[in-house]
């Protein structure tokens, strides 16, 4: 059986991705902070006995000590793919905010990408795949998104370096950069979904900034992530695949 480790697996894109891989017959290692919720998700997936749960913060080293113990105890021989979906958001101004607070999204997202990659690569064989979910913010700027955007841009560049270093080992590394996606993160700041706001409806649905005039569903991002880990993506590495409904082709 093939195994995939998915971070941020308890909601949004991570949850949709876990479901997609499980439907395709993979064993899924679910990594997120809420253990009870992860266990509920595990039992809801096809063949629940094939899936594993690791509860912890993906940006902390001790989480990967738990991962190693679990893999060794369960006799998992290799991890075939890593899909890093976990993230945090922030809305701190560049000037005037406490530096520690401004840095939190940057430190968490970048450290998480580095730590999870380092933890999984020793378990990967030739043909392994790593995909980091970044964002169109990695190439675009938006008010009060500087730390988040810097983090996503940094992960894109980290991905490129990793693709070079792992090429001789037969491991492919890419990133997927979504635009608007209908997930709980869309409601994280104000408690109501930005996708239902007058701003989004006027600028992106009624206006011309978003050609497809809607946010993506998490399953649509999961499909691209699955493709990059599958047999038809054997000559793609070091790339940022933008999945944004055409948002970044407009001005």
Report the alpha-carbon distance of residue 210 to residue 195 in Å, rounded. Answer: 12
Please identify every residue annotated as catalytic: 148
**Three-state secondary structure of 28-97:** EEEEECCHHHHHHHHHHCCCHHHCEEEECCCCCHHHHHHHHHHHHHHCCCCCCEEEECCCCCCCCCCCCC
Contact 233, 159 (CB under 8 A): no
The strand pairing partners of 175, in sequence order, are 132, 240
How wide is the angle at C-alpha 131 spanned by C-alphas 17 and 73, nearest 5°?
A: 75
Three-state DSSP state, 192? coil
Q: How far is CA 47 from CA 15, 20, 22, 41, in A?
A: 16, 13, 8, 12
Which spans in 132-175 are helix H? 146-166
**Pick from 184, 207, 182: nearest CA to 195:** 182
Burial 84-103 (b: 16+ CB within 10 A, else e): bbbbbbbbbeeeebeeeebb
């Amino acid at each position: 059986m093939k195994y995939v480790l998915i971070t941020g697996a308890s909601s949004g894109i991570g949850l949709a991705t876990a479901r997609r891989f499980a439907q395709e017959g993979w064993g899924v290692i679910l990594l997120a902070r809420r253990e009870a919720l992860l266990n509920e998700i595990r039992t809801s997936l096809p063949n629940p006995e094939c899936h594993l749960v690791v509860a912890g913060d993906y940006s902390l080293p001790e989480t990967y000590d738990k991962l190693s113990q679990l893999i060794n105890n369960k006799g998992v021989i290799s991890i075939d793919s890593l899909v890093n979906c976990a993230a945090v958001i922030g809305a701190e101004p560049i000037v005037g905010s406490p530096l520690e607070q401004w840095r939190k999204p940057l430190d968490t997202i970048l450290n998480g990408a580095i730590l999870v990659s380092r933890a999984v690569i020793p378990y990967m064989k030739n043909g392994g795949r790593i995909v980091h979910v970044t964002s169109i913010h990695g190439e675009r700027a938006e008010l009060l998104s500087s730390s988040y955007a810097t983090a996503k841009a940094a992960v894109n560049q980290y991905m490129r370096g990793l693709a070079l270093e792992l090429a001789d080992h037969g491991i492919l590394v890419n990133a997927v950069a979504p635009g608007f996606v209908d997930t709980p993160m869309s409601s994280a700041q104000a408690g109501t979904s930005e996708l239902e706001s007058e701003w989004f409806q006027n600028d992106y649905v009624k206006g011309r900034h978003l050609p497809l005039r809607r946010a993506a569903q998490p399953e649509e991002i999961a499909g691209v992530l699955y493709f990059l880990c599958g047999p038809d993506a054997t000559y793609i590495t070091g790339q940022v695949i933008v999945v944004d409904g055409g948002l970044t082709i407009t001005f």
